[in-house]
Structure 1
């Protein structure tokens, strides 16, 4: 498990920690941006941390942690600032949606270079949900 960012008292964090199945917690390299409430997902053996909130501002920044090299890199910003967005992989594409911010019904897809707004939108505002990967029956 990767713990990334958060808030302690009035301070937004950039700390990152790894928690393994043995119950051992170890420090990992810090995020580039302090943040709480980002969307996070594991995709292609990397951890993506998207959006969040920092001291009065919602974020559109996205950072990627390579578990093999133990290094963070920054990829292009999302088009919308998002706090507590949903993030998942659909049709082998990284996808974010909703969250507090510019448009809680919008959907963006990462094409490997930049984020593209989807023509589809959610039917209701989405905030602070939980995602579970499941194959739905037809």
Structure 2
């Protein structure tokens, strides 16, 4: 297991919301991240497909992990935009993010989210975001 992946999995495990959803960090390398999430019934909206908030959560985390590998310090999402392309149907969601540009204090990243149904992947959302180094504040972890 790579140093990046090992550290990333510890960070993901420290996020109660990610544990609640059952998110897995599949891969993490400089400038790239892949997250996977089983698409359970309780993560769907009233029409039976993935809730938009679940897709946005996956994009946010994948973008932050990809950007975080390019930066030093405490990393946060500065901004994010997501386009929903089609209903997320199937048994699993996968978010694949990559940094497309990085400086000392921020990285711009993009992310594709696919739904896996019967082994077939379909693109359901695309996102872009800016990941930043958060200023140190006394008394915060």
**TM-score w.r.t. structure 1 length?**
0.37
The answer to which structure has the higher helix fraction is 2
Q: Which has the higher contact order (CA 8 A, sep 6+)?
A: 2
